[in-house]
Amino acid sequence: MNLPLFIAKRYFFSRKKSNFINVISMISMIGVGVGTMALVIVLSVFNGLEDLFRQLHNTFNSEIVIKPAQGKSFAVTGALTAKIKSVEGVDQVYEVIEDNAVLTYRDVPLLVKMRGVSEEFLRHNGMDSMIVAGKLRLQSAEDDNFAIIGSGIQYMLSISLQDEMHPLQVWYPNNTKKAIDVNSPNAFRRSSLMAGGVFAIEQRYDDRFIFVPLPFARDLVQLGNKRTYLEIGLKPKTSIRRVQDRLKEALGADFVVQDRDEQHASLLRAIRFEKLFVYITFSFILAIASFNIFFSLTMLAIEKKKDIAILSAMGASMKFIKQLFMTEGAIIAFTGTILGLVFGVLLCLIQQQFGIFKLGMETSIVDAYPVKMRFGDFALTGLTILLITFGFSYFPAMKAAKDVDVRL
In a domain, 54, yes or no: yes
Are 8 and 93 members of one domain? no
Residues spanned by the domain of 33: 3-58+267-407
Q: Model-level pTM?
A: 0.71
Regarding whether 120 and 54 lie in a shared domain, the answer is: no
Q: Is the domain of 189 the same as that of 44?
A: no
H and E: helices and strands count for the chain: 13, 12
Q: How many domains are there within the chain?
A: 2
Q: What is the pLDDT of residue 63?
A: 84
Give the model confidence (pLDDT) of 147-204 as tens digits: 999 999 999 999 999 988 899 999 998 865 555 555 566 778 899 999 999 998 878 8
DSSP string for residues in 135-160: -S-SB-TT--BEEEEEHHHHHHHT--
- Higher per-residue pLDDT: 398 or 106: 106
Q: Say yes or no: 27 and 171 in one domain.
A: no
Q: Given a cut of 60, is residue 407 above it in pLDDT?
A: no
Question: Closest Cα to residue 100, out of 196, 17, 171?
Answer: 171
- Mean pLDDT of the chain, nearest integer: 82
Determine the distance from the C-alpha atom of residue 23 to the mean position of all C-alpha atoms in its chain, rounded to a whole number.
40
pLDDT of 58 over the 50 cut: yes
Task: Output the pLDDT for position 313.
Answer: 66
User: Within this chain, do residues 111 and 185 fall inside the same structural domain, yes or no?
Assistant: yes
pLDDT tens figures, 234-288: 988 888 899 999 999 999 889 999 988 888 778 788 888 888 888 888 888 888 8
- pLDDT of 295 over the 80 cut: no
Residues of the chain with pLDDT > 70, as a percent, come to 82
Residue from 246, 215, 219 nearest 232 by CA = 246
| pLDDT tens profile 197-221 | 999 887 888 899 999 999 999 999 9
User: What one-letter code names the amino acid at 81?
Assistant: T
